[in-house]
Amino acid sequence: MSQNFLDHIKSLLPYAEVHLIYKNKAYAKVPKEYWIDSAKKLKSAGFTLLSFVSGIDRLNSIEVIYACRKPEGNGLVIVGTIIDRNNPRIPSLITVWEGALWHERETFDLLGIYFEGNPDMRRILLPDEWVGHPLRKDYKW
């Protein structure tokens, strides 16, 4: 069953490097150009529920991730892409899932990743005049 799931994800995202995390949970690393394309393909394949959008500070780069679930059939795919740490910009997922609005605001607030195309790119958890992004590993307070 897990091999079927892995093959299914690999056929959906041929440009991605897919690893199986657990039975029906997979991690796919995609190039930056296919960020929106992977979301559209996964959504049309039944992964209609966006769980979260987040990011990881890897010190010399930043990884943006999103996770989407399949309500019928119980599957989870985490898609990640590596972007530049000094100028972290990525297209917004709001064209695919409208619910990505607040997730992207939170990621912008805590990690400083700018989502191009998001209409409301303000801080959400911290006050507007805050300086810095607290979840970056070199943040000092």
Partner 1 sequence: MGITDLFQDLKIKIINPRYLPFIDKLLIWGRRNSLWLLVLGIKCCTIEDIMVPGAANYDFERFGVLPRNSPRQCDLMIISGPITQKLARPIKVLYEQMAEPRYVIATGECSICGGPWKGMYSIIDGVDQIIPVDVYIPGCPPKPEALLEGIIKLEEKILKGEIRKKFLPKTGIPKIKEDWRS
Enumerate binding residues for partner 1 (CB under 8 A).
125-127, 129-130, 134, 139, 141
Tell me the closest approach of the beta carbon of residue 107 to partner 1, in angstroms: 16
Q: Return the number of the residue (76 or 110) whose C-beta is nearest partner 1.
A: 110
- Residues 45/68, Cβ–Cβ less than 8 Å: no
Shortest spacing between CB 122 and partner 1, in angstroms = 12
Name the residue nearer to partner 1 (CB basis): 83 or 110: 110
Among all chains, which residue has been given the structure tokens 């991605």?
Answer: 16
**Is residue 107 within 8 Å of 53, Cβ to Cβ?**
yes
In angstroms, give the least distance from the CB of 128 to partner 1. 8
